[in-house]
Structure 1
Amino acid sequence: MTDLADLTAAELLDGYASGQFTPVDATEAALTRIEERDGDLNAFVLVDRESALASAQESAARWRSGETLGPGDGVPTSIKDIFGTKGWPTLRGTTLIDEAGPWEWDAPCVARLRETGAVLLGKTATPEFAWKGVTDCSRFGATSNPWDASTHAGGSSGGSAAAVGAGMGPWSVGTDGGGSVRIPASFTGTVALKPTYGLIPMYPSSPFGTLAHAGPMTRTVTDTALLLDVISGYDPRDWSSLPTPHTSFVQSLEGDLKGLRIAFSADLGFGTNDPEVDRLVRDAVKTLEEGGAIVEEVDPGFEDPVEPFHVLWFTGAGKVLEAYEDDAMEKIDPGLREGIEKYQDATARDYLQAVQVRMNMGVQMGAFHQKYDLLVTPTMPITSFDCSRQSPQGWSSDLWTSWTPYTYPFNMTQQPAVSVPCGVADNGLPVGLQFVGARNQDAAVLRAAAAYEQLEGSSFARPRA
């Protein structure tokens, strides 16, 4: 018999509609999976069983009466512990925040999930203030990978990726300021989208500024589109939020790869890949060609923007700490403290020069996409690595940007980018493939990713307990 915890959101919604099972059944299955697996994975920092079951019962009654609230009614969902959630603490992985609250408002994505009737299971783990590419912190410990609990789930949305990957609810919402939904998606064999900046509103505004996006995290591209339909659209609390889309992202998934102009860059001109990653990504590109895409191997032509990214990132991180006591710097993650201290003397000129770099990259990528519909790259140059480390064995630096060269450039340009699984390396760990599109071409990115997923299948994308 199929375990409901292994079904996608789309499959659950079909089952509710047919009366095969109810949101209560699905929520109980997700909660049981949390009990079975989260002791090893540490994906959740808060689980509210009573509230989730009460919400599921209300959803079940709506399904019986034919008066559902929206396209996500009854879907078990988790929220990264960065987003404000009314009635639950939002501790952001730090000891600097008092759990007592008060916790009186919902972030836009949380409000949208409630409006559609989703069942909120709890909050998922993040490193302190979501600052790095692995998920560990002094307050809650480390989050492990469902494929191998001795390895990282990635970060900073690692709790969400581990939850989704292990069947602890098919939907989660994370944040991505430099790869934070795509890195863990690649490591855990799941799907995650960093949408065009502003498509999913955020409140309060991130101290990391316009690098920071919210993004859906799921097990399939269809589920990603379903969740994006729920949480995208204008919110007056976000000065940079885009208008509500006129068409459904799910409805936009139909189509194939025939005639699609794809640029394939194995390393963006400055990265270095593990041989297994290179092999699996090139195999995926062959699948794209066999599906009818016109593929050319070409780099987009920009230099590694890591130093300008660091200026923007760590000056933002320094801004975070202004809300806390004078001794806050002594209490935070040592790596975060080191980065803040390195860039604490950055001038307005330094900041504006970093902004100019990203503006130039945006112009360059705009021209690039006049010739190519999409850019395809590895999501990560490596598979996951040991939880006891901050970087892979023998790596030149522990700073997370040193091993994530293909994610943060597209936070600089604010382009949509989705990571989908493209195979399993010889070490038994997943590898991710990244599709990048022009700004506001989120539907095209998802459509191509869905077509690839259909051609390749995603049987490898779910670890078994």
Structure 2
Amino acid sequence: MTDELPFESARELAARMRAGDHSPVEVTEAYLDRIADRNDDLNAYLTVIDDEARAAAVDAERAVERGDDLGPLHGVPVAIKDLTAFKSGVRHTFGCRAFGDNVADHTTTFVRRLEAAGAIVLGKTNTPEFGHRTTTDNLLAGPTCNPFDPTCNAGGSSGGSAAAVAAGLTALGQGGDAGGSVRTPAALCGVYGLKPTAGRVPQPTRPDAFQNHTPFIDKGPITRTVADAALMLDVMAGPDPRDPFSLPAADGSFLAATDRSVEGLDVAYSPDLGVFPVSAAIERCVERATDAFVDAGATVECVDVEFGHDLGTLRDGVRLPQMHLLAAKVARNLAPSGADFLDAYGEDVPDTFRERVERGREYSAMDMANGELLRTDVLDAVLDVFETHDLLVTPTTAVASVPNGALGATSVDGEPVDPTSDWVLTWPFNLTGHPAASVPAGTVDGMPVGMQVVAPRYDEATVLAASAAVERERPWSDLYG
């Protein structure tokens, strides 16, 4: 096995294993060796399931030797964010010290699908407690460091998966996105992250089957190539009757969409969505990256996005109330029988999460209903853009890096901002449910920058086609290694 193997694409690894050029055992061992070498520095994984991964790799190798029909991800390693139950008996912490010894009692739908397609799960990746912040840090294990600068954070809340993908500690990573938690760490770590349309990847949550719509919470791939994300989405997507928001199967293959031409597409570019402060260096970097669309035959037009409200109104009126309510729901669902979550676990959760729970418990039904009016204004503004354009493109984040220990960026070009929300241009699309990806756009001062690509609802195919066009015109593979 060469040093290049951990950075081969998942498609390439799968093809080489089917051809006998690589073996699943050798590939798995190569990734486990790299995890052993790098994870202490990066803190990307909370749990590595060495024995289970090795056993799965042996089974995968025997299947190749027998000439069995092989799934599209046969033998390909994947990392699962530790907000998702992986398999009964495997450690499942939610990134929280109070649940450090908790084990899953079930396997969630999309993980079953990944394994059925032949993927080999290497372990569970780091996340802030219950995914509640835009950086990855917790009382359980500490911060996940950015592979490009270990003094900086990988971003959140899927920072463990993003760092693992960027550093070659897995071929594929999985994340969850309630406000940018796939796209933000993908941007900061220089990888590709896709939030699908709300409901594309089913999430049969219990005891509350309806919790993933306020905001729309989505599971998605984090990868080094666009085609790998498309292949992973092909496997993860599809209806599940236990999820009332899950969508019917998509028409066609997401992977096939990555070969589609973007010639003739009309791309709307907004440097700030009309309300976000964005670093001038980030704006310049992303604007240069939009030239890739022009080179691929599309047209790009700068547009004004008219939400009708300033950032503070949207943040305080709908974004944060939804996050607070979500935290209160988590506390309700995970409280010990007959006890209050904060009373039982208060010392093992950070003040930031405790505050969210307390505030979420205070909201009235009318508070939330009033927030939905703001949410509707955001939706209508985005729909106005798509009346005349096929895509909406923005920076993913307002800055290129955030130091470890910080809740988020506290200023943008000297302007103070709320670190919970003001530096990520991602969460409006969790209000609306549109598919959105972060595409590597270049670097600023040696740190990766992400470009967000958004399409109409249900049209992940155009997001993937456009992202792949950028990758062909401006390859980013030399970021890794």
Q: Structure 1 residues 332, 9: CA separation in 2 closer, same or farther (over 3 Å shift)? A: same
Q: 2:448 matched to which residue of 1?
A: 430
- Cα deviation 1:265-322 (Å, max 9, x = unaligned): 0000111222221111011112222322111100221134322111111112112112
Q: Structure 1 residues 447, 106: CA separation in 2 closer, same or farther (over 3 Å shift)? A: same
Q: Choose the corresponding residue for 2:439, options 387, 412, 420.
A: 420
1:377 matched to 2:394? The reply is yes
- Secondary structure of the corresponding residue to residue 250 of structure 1: helix
One-letter amino acid matched to 1:438: P
Q: Structure 1 residues 337, 208: CA separation in 2 closer, same or farther (over 3 Å shift)? A: farther
1:402 matched to 2:411? The reply is no
Q: What is the CA distance between 1:350 and its match in structure 2?
A: 0.9
Q: Structure 1 residues 100, 301: CA separation in 2 closer, same or farther (over 3 Å shift)? A: closer
1:82 matched to 2:89? The reply is no
One-letter amino acid matched to 1:402: D
Q: Is the CA contact (8 Å cut-off) linking 1:421 and 1:461 kept in structure 2?
A: no
Q: What is the CA distance between 1:65 and its match in structure 2?
A: 2.7
Q: Is the CA contact (8 Å cut-off) linking 1:219 and 1:461 kept in structure 2?
A: no
Q: What is the CA distance between 1:206 and its match in structure 2?
A: 7.4
1:290 matched to 2:259? The reply is no
Q: Structure 1 residues 450, 185: CA separation in 2 closer, same or farther (over 3 Å shift)? A: same
TM-score computed with the length of structure 2 as normaliser = 0.92
- Secondary structure of the corresponding residue to residue 407 of structure 2: coil
One-letter amino acid matched to 1:447: A
Q: Choose the corresponding residue for 2:324, options 314, 318, 340.
A: 314
Q: Is the CA contact (8 Å cut-off) linking 1:69 and 1:115 kept in structure 2?
A: no
Q: Is the CA contact (8 Å cut-off) linking 1:262 and 1:375 kept in structure 2?
A: yes
Q: Give runs of aligned pairs for residues 35-50 of structure 1, distance below 5 A.
A: 35-50=36-51
CA distance in 2, matches of 1:108, 1:359: 31
Q: Give runs of aligned pairs for residues 61-140 of structure 1, distance below 5 A.
A: 61-86=62-87, 87-97=89-99, 99-101=101-103, 103-140=104-141
CA distance in 2, matches of 1:44, 1:449: 28
CA distance in 2, matches of 1:70, 1:267: 42
Q: Is the CA contact (8 Å cut-off) linking 2:57 and 2:120 kept in structure 1?
A: yes
Q: Structure 1 residues 206, 78: CA separation in 2 closer, same or farther (over 3 Å shift)? A: farther
1:335 matched to 2:352? The reply is yes
Q: Which moved more, 1:329-338 or 1:165-174?
A: 329-338
Q: 2:403 matched to which residue of 1?
A: 386
Q: What is the CA distance between 1:98 and its match in structure 2?
A: 6.1
Q: What is the CA distance between 1:123 and its match in structure 2?
A: 0.4
- Any gaps of 5 or more consecutive residues in structure 1? none
Q: Is the CA contact (8 Å cut-off) linking 2:46 and 2:125 kept in structure 1?
A: yes
Q: Is the CA contact (8 Å cut-off) linking 1:437 and 1:445 kept in structure 2?
A: yes
TM-score computed with the length of structure 1 as normaliser = 0.95
CA distance in 2, matches of 1:130, 1:388: 16
- Cα deviation 1:232-285 (Å, max 9, x = unaligned): 001122111111224110012112332110000000011122222111101111
Q: What is the CA distance between 1:394 and its match in structure 2?
A: 4.8
Q: What is the CA distance between 1:6 and its match in structure 2?
A: 1.4
Q: Is the CA contact (8 Å cut-off) linking 1:3 and 1:29 kept in structure 2?
A: no
CA distance in 1, matches of 2:210, 2:77: 26
1:299 matched to 2:309? The reply is no
Q: Structure 1 residues 260, 206: CA separation in 2 closer, same or farther (over 3 Å shift)? A: same
Q: 1:203 matched to which residue of 2?
A: 204
Q: 1:455 matched to which residue of 2?
A: 473
**Matched residues, percent identical?**
38
One-letter amino acid matched to 2:135: V
Q: What is the CA distance between 1:35 and its match in structure 2?
A: 0.8
- Secondary structure of the corresponding residue to residue 135 of structure 2: coil
CA distance in 2, matches of 1:112, 1:39: 30
The alignment covers a number of residue pairs equal to 460
Q: Which moved more, 1:7-16 or 1:350-359?
A: 350-359
